[in-house]
């Protein structure tokens, strides 16, 4: 498992009975987590007095109960700053487990920037880019990033995260668009990228009612995205929170479609350490392809 264990401003404090107790900077939240099927004593004092608690409804969805939480606050990771706020369906605007992937591709980008020694920039395409955690990390490492998400609100949030991280003037292009349609246009235009990051939803609808189901659409979409890569790509990252897509599936997908390039494929669950007992909480899976340079 790949574990995001270098956070200072975030930690999972405890887990029990379908919920996790988390510290986000100075604030304690209780949120549901379907992986937490065990029941423990809830001895951590944070359970008794959180700043907010998201209650799952038996009818689907749920709602926040607030005690003492600001409308918005920030946390940082390795000098990057992210704006947080509680919004629908339990989210805060950041998936902290993804830091393990940020560290991985940031190292690749930095190495490639040095290798190119002032030549062409490293171009990264971030699809289903949400609030821009990966965008900010890639830009901070020296990449020129194209950030694509169908939600105008999420793209605005990503811009705020970039500004908070001192990257307001970084070479980031923000696009509000359907990811598949954007990639199709980029291929027709002849635009190419050195790396692709994608964090597709399990289920969604396009702007014209198109239905996306990850199990049915992910293979054809990966195949499409390979067509937007440069002749010598740097990396390809797929994230999945869909339980049906195990790491082995992501490994096979990338191996199948990236086979014409010289590189290696790996895939693992990603997770977060529970500070109270050392347990590692599973948080989805990631598949990685990275190049093998001959020079």
Render pLDDT for 156-177 as a digit per residue (tens, 0 to 9).
999 999 999 999 999 999 999 9
Radius of gyration of the CA atoms of the chain, in A: 19
DSSP three-state, residue 260: coil
159: number of CA atoms within 13 Å, CB side?
Answer: 11
What is the Cα–Cα distance from 223 to 214, expressed in whole angstroms?
A: 14
Output DSSP code: residue 229: B
Opening angle at CA 209, ends 204 and 211, nearest 5: 40
Instruction: Give the E-state strand segments of 90-188 in sequence order.
Output: 123-127, 144-149, 172-176
34-60 pLDDT, tens digit per residue, is 999 999 999 999 999 999 999 988 777
Q: Mind listing the pLDDT tens digit of every residue in the chain (295 residues)?
A: 999 999 999 999 999 999 999 999 999 999 999 999 999 999 999 999 999 999 988 777 899 999 999 999 999 999 999 999 998 889 999 999 999 999 999 999 999 999 999 889 999 999 999 999 999 999 999 999 999 999 999 999 999 999 999 999 999 999 999 999 999 999 999 999 999 999 998 887 766 677 778 888 899 999 999 999 999 999 999 999 877 789 999 999 999 999 999 999 999 999 999 998 999 999 999 999 999 876 6
Plot region of 87 (φ>0 → left; ψ -120 to 50 → alpha; else → beta) = beta
Return the pLDDT at 147.
98
Return the pLDDT at 294.
65
| C-beta of residue 250 within 8 angstroms of C-beta of residue 287 | yes
What is the Cα–Cα distance from 122 to 142, expressed in whole angstroms?
A: 7
What is the Cα–Cα distance from 105 to 143, expressed in whole angstroms?
A: 10
Return the pLDDT at 198.
97
Return the pLDDT at 142.
98
Return the pLDDT at 206.
66
| C-beta of residue 64 within 8 angstroms of C-beta of residue 86 | yes
């Amino acid at each position: 498992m790949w574990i995001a264990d270098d956070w200072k401003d975030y930690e999972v404090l405890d887990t029990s009975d379908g919920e996790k107790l988390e510290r986000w900077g100075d604030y304690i939240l209780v949120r549901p987590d379907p992986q937490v099927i065990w029941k423990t004593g809830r001895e951590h004092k944070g359970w008794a007095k959180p700043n907010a608690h998201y209650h799952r409804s038996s009818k689907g969805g749920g709602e926040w109960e607030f005690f003492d939480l600001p409308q918005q606050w920030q946390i940082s990771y390795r000098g990057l700053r992210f704006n947080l706020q509680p919004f629908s369906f339990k989210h805060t605007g950041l998936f902290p487990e993804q830091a393990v992937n940020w560290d991985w591709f940031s190292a690749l980008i930095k190495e490639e920037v040095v290798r190119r020694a002032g030549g062409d920039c490293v171009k990264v395409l971030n699809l289903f880019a949400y609030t821009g955690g990966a965008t900010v990390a890639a830009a901070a490492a020296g990449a020129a990033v194209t950030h694509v998400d169908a939600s105008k609100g999420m793209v605005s949030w990503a811009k705020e995260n970039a500004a908070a991280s001192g990257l307001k003037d970084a070479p980031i292009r923000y696009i509000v668009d359907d990811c598949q349609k954007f990639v199709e246009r980029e291929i027709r235009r002849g635009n190419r990228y050195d790396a692709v990051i994608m964090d597709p939803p399990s289920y969604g609808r396009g702007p014209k009612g198109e239905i996306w189901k990850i199990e049915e659409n992910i293979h054809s979409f990966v195949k499409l995205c390979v067509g937007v890569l440069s002749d010598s790509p740097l990396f390809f990252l797929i994230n999945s929170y869909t339980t049906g897509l195990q790491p082995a599936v992501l490994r096979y997908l990338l191996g199948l479609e990236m086979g014409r390039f010289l590189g290696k494929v790996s895939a693992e669950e990603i997770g977060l350490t529970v500070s109270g007992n050392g347990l590692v909480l599973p948080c989805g899976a990631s598949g990685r392809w990275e190049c093998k340079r001959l020079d």
